[in-house]
A = this chain, B = another copy of it.
Amino acid sequence: MAEKLVFLSDEYFRTVTDRPVFPQITGETIAQRFDTSLPVEAEPLESLIDDCRAIIDGSRHNGHPRFFGYVASPSTPAGGFADLLASTLNPSVTSWRSAPAPAQVERTVVRWLGSLIGYDDNAVGLLTSGGSMANLTALLIAHRAKAEHAVAQEGIANGAERMMIYVSAQVHMSIPKAADVLGLGQKSVRIIPSDDRFCFNAIALDEASKTDQRNNLKPFCVVASAGTAASGAVDPLAEIGDVARRHGLWFHIDGAYGAPAAMVKECKPRFAGLELADSVSLDPHKWLYTPVDCGCLLLRDAAAARKPFVAEGEYVKVHETAELESFAFWDYGIELSRRFRALKIWLTLKFYGARRIAEAIAEDMEMAKYMAQQIEADPEFELLAPVQLSICCFRYVPASLSDQMKSANNHEERENLHAELNRLNERIMHRMQRGGRAYLSNAMLCDTFALRACIINFRTTRADIDITLETVRQTARELEAEENS
């Protein structure tokens, strides 16, 4: 079985480029194939390998060079095989006691990631399953650091002031979801309109925080983005950090997608202020090309973040005296059992070197710029947001609608055309996703439906960009022809 699964893995890495990006299947056919009864007796190996092939064939291929949906990068082969060793050794990285070398490797890898964003050796952190868990944990630590009562014992205090979090309109959904999960409620999330580049407006933040204080609310946290999921916008981190400092707010940066771009020399000025954050989320399973799952929460000052949780009980009592040996990840995170996620980062960075990874990131950004150039050169396309990192948001505007928009002379007419364009681009996206040639997802930028390409893939070339844009045009024409027939 080992031999056959290694063969399948090897074959997959070699052939992913030749597959359709998305399989030609329906929910029903997949269910018919896989929704079987519990296997009581062992099944023959051949049938298991057939299953594996069918699972591969029934998957969307995030590693395909024309997969541009969401923020989903391919794994390097090094990352895949690192996960084999992690599962073979099978430590649960709860603490030094339970996994001495793996725990040390995780602490070291976290220090490396901290150094990429300008943190020093006072920082601490831990790997999580992804950005949602890192953001949730950050808000939890922030709340406990800023709350004036014993939340661990009392809960979100009855009768206390409502504690407020400030975000831009471009914030990732995981932040309001975290506010919900933590019992703060979405009412505790103040959404500040973003500017015309979809960035956080520091002046509006300052004003909102002041207004809330006057109204007996207690501002405690601001979340900025170092690369929004919608358009890759990098907020003015230093400015936000300055407001945070003046208002005594915990400064969290969601850099799940974008923070690794701080490794690229030309990007450094844009990320100035990252190092001011009290906490930063950064997902190695995004722009460091490791397999899912691998997120990271970085905390600038270990002392300020120390033991926000109650982790009592004999079960986790560490019977050690040496400081290194009494370290436990459960003091900083929610999980107890923890996979050895650090190994794939360790081997990826050592096998390729940080410089080469930075080059791959820079190349992805180049691709997005190239895409934007092609879009701006084509009157049938409209670029909808500046390309700040490696996301390109645009829409298809057929000549007929383009003319109508120019001549539209009242609000209602313009609104109708706008709605028609939204519907058209949604249909283009949907058909393209199922077509299997190239995969785009979408973003809503204010009320505009954007086709969105997120390029975090070392396999993508300029030719892939060209094919993708050509597929948009073709798909639009197909839809038009169908409508007219």
Contact = CB atoms under 8 A, between A and B. Distances in A.
A301 interface: no
Main DSSP-derived SS at the A contact region: helix
12 contacts: A1-B77, A6-B6, A9-B84, A27-B100, A28-B324, A51-B346, A55-B89, A87-B344, A155-B179, A156-B156, A173-B312, A314-B443
A52 interface: yes
Contacts of A327: 27
Interface residues of A, number: 157
A188 B133 contact: no
* Residue in A47, A85, A309, A442 with the greatest tally of chain B CB atoms within 10 Å: A85
Contacts of A181: 140, 181-182, 309, 334
Interface stretch (A200-208, A244-252, A291-299): A291-299
Contacts of A353: 39-43
A2 interface: yes
A399 interface: no
Interface string A320-353: 0011110100000011111110011011011111
B59 A87 contact: no
A171 to B, nearest CB: 9
What 7 A-B pairs are tightest by C-beta distance, nearest first? A183-B183, A155-B185, A27-B324, A58-B101, A130-B337, A87-B291, A83-B87
B36 A108 contact: yes
Contacts of A347: 1, 48, 51-52
Given A30-B104, A132-B334, A173-B316, 15 more contacts: A1-B351, A5-B85, A8-B85, A13-B88, A38-B354, A39-B353, A42-B350, A54-B101, A59-B99, A74-B90, A88-B291, A130-B337, A155-B183, A177-B309, A295-B337
A151 B185 contact: yes
A261 to B, nearest CB: 16
A6 to B, nearest CB: 5
Contacts of A292: 87, 90-92, 337-340
Which of A60, A81, A337 lies at the interface centre, i.e. has the most chain B CB atoms within 10 A of its CB? A337
Given A154-B187, A180-B152, A131 B88 contact: no
Given A91-B292, A314-B443, A322-B26, A84 B133 contact: no
A454 to B, nearest CB: 11
A91 B323 CA distance: 38
A313 interface: yes
Number of copies: 2
A100 B22 CA distance: 9
A172 interface: yes
Given A184-B183, A291-B90, A334 B177 contact: yes
Interface string A177-197: 101111111111000000000
A219 interface: no
A156 B155 contact: yes
Of the candidates A55, A310, A327, the one having the most CB atoms from chain B within 10 angstroms of its own CB is A55
A59 B88 CA distance: 12
Given A2-B10, A98-B72, A177-B310, A129 B335 contact: yes
A313 B62 contact: no
B81 A83 contact: no
A416 interface: no
- Of A69, A155, A159, A176, chain B has the most CB atoms within 10 Å of the CB of A155
Interface string A381-396: 0000000000000000
Interface string A442-483: 111000000000000000000000000000000000000000
A82 interface: yes
A81 B352 CA distance: 24
A145 interface: no
A369 interface: no
A414 to B, nearest CB: 22
Contacts of A48: 347, 350-351
A339 B129 contact: yes
Nearest to A132: B336
A38 B112 CA distance: 5
A72 to B, nearest CB: 6
A319 B440 CA distance: 13
A80 interface: yes
A155 B163 CA distance: 11
- Residue from A40, A84, A96 with most neighbouring chain B CB atoms (10 Å): A84
A300 to B, nearest CB: 18
